[in-house]
Amino acid sequence: MDKSFGRIDAFPRERLARTPTPIDALPRLSEKLGGPEIHMKRDDCSGLAMGGNKARLLEFYFGQARKKKADTVLITGSVQSNYACMAAAAARRMGMACHIQLEERVPDVDAVYRTSGNVLLGKLFGATIHTYPDGEDEEGADNRLHEIAEDLRKKGASPYVIPLGPDNPPLGALGYVLAAREICRQIDDANLRIDETILTSGSGLTHIGLLFGLRALGRDMRVTGVCVRRPAAVQARRLIDLAGRLSDMLGLPPLVGAGDIHLTDAVLAPGYGQHNDDVLDAVRLIARTEGILVDPVYTGRLVAGMVRRLAGDDRPPDGLMMLHTGGLPILFAYQALIEETER
């Protein structure tokens, strides 16, 4: 048994993601941007609801929910949360009910934002929807979820809360620790040269999971996070803390140091989920060169962050891979913005 990932087998897991997801070459985008060779790991094809990274994260939360004999899962996120929507889909697949709490995180949104995209899909999955007024209060949002869970328990349900705040064990990151092995196998088998993976860094679970998994396998591939929630300095502290928690959970020595953390907040402005011209340009660029869809909140910021990185002095070496983490339903919630900025 390979012990690179320490005690990972002790954590119960429910299969939700269809893996391995493909790694595709993006020759037209690479040419358009003047090299290097760009690849994309297609976790938007993970097969749960409309796909995305959250399928891998949820495998470990649902593993624990099943172990605890839960019949209801609770989760919190922004109004257009992919995580909440995919959790609702996963709950249905496992015969459970789902409560999703939608937080006000984006100012000045329109009616379509509040009803389309993931909100619509959450309803389709029959999730019970709650609201929370503050999108920047992770602890408060988690506490509110626990209160709802308590009410449900009193009514005879067996609830399980998927927490958001960084003070909880980063169970979801284990999904990307495992994905590191999948990626290494794929690039080795296909003899690809990938020196760097670039991904969005929100809660940080995907970012730290992949980075930790790569280091556990002895790989020195650079992982660059494009900040979508908070400035790079704040996100870096969060990631270091999460890495320490992962080491403790898996019984492994510290594997990720400050030198391993690479972040850019170049396309974060003016804030989470808000209009940024570079991001909309990137959404169109990849649609029109490769026929690939990305969203304005997460993966559009990934492409925009990569374009900025290629344009800067600190150009990456040969062999860059974007991790497409999904988010497709959000595109529809931003219909007005996409139409207004059409050019």
Ligand X SMILES: Cc1ncc(COP(=O)(O)O)c(C=O)c1O
Q: Which residues are catalytic?
A: 81
Residues 297-316 that bind ligand X (CB under 6 A): 298-299
Which stretch in 8-16, 257-265, 277-285, 319-327 sits in contact with ligand X by CB under 6 A? 319-327
Residue placing its CB nearer to ligand X in the complex, 103 or 196:
103
Residues 167-196 that bind ligand X (CB under 6 A): none
How are beta strands 72-78 and 159-162 bridged, if at all?
Answer: parallel
The residues, ordered by sequence, that sit 6+ positions from 143 with a Cβ below 8 Å of its Cβ are: none
Helix (H) or strand (E) holding 245: helix 232-250
Distance in angstroms (rounded) separating the CA atoms of residues 239 and 22: 27
The token pair that represents 95 in the structure block? 């015969």
Sequence letter at residue 140 = G
Residue placing its CB nearer to ligand X in the complex, 122 or 327:
327
The closest residue (CB) to ligand X is: 327
CB of 112 to ligand X, least distance (A): 19
Which of 46, 53, 72, 101 contacts ligand X by CB under 6 A? 53
Which of 21, 76, 201, 235 contacts ligand X by CB under 6 A? 201
Distance in angstroms (rounded) separating the CA atoms of residues 250 and 253: 9
Residue 327 binds to ligand X (criterion: CB under 6 A): yes
CA 153 to chain CA centroid, nearest Å: 30
Which stretch in 230-238, 271-279, 313-321, 322-330 sits in contact with ligand X by CB under 6 A? 322-330
Which of 52, 135, 175, 329 contacts ligand X by CB under 6 A? 52
Which of 16, 145, 187, 205 contacts ligand X by CB under 6 A? 205
Which of 72, 206, 235, 276 contacts ligand X by CB under 6 A? 206
Count of residues of this chain found to bind ligand X when the rule CB under 6 A is applied: 17
Please tell me what DSSP assigns to residue 12.
-
Tell me the backbone φ, ψ of residue 16, rounded to 5 degrees: -125, -30
Tell me the backbone φ, ψ of residue 130, rounded to 5 degrees: -120, 165
Residues 213-242 that bind ligand X (CB under 6 A): none
Residue 118 binds to ligand X (criterion: CB under 6 A): no
* 3 state DSSP class of 271: coil
Distance in angstroms (rounded) separating the CA atoms of residues 178 and 56: 9
Query: Rule CB under 6 A: which residues touch ligand X?
Result: 52-53, 82-83, 200-207, 298-299, 325-327
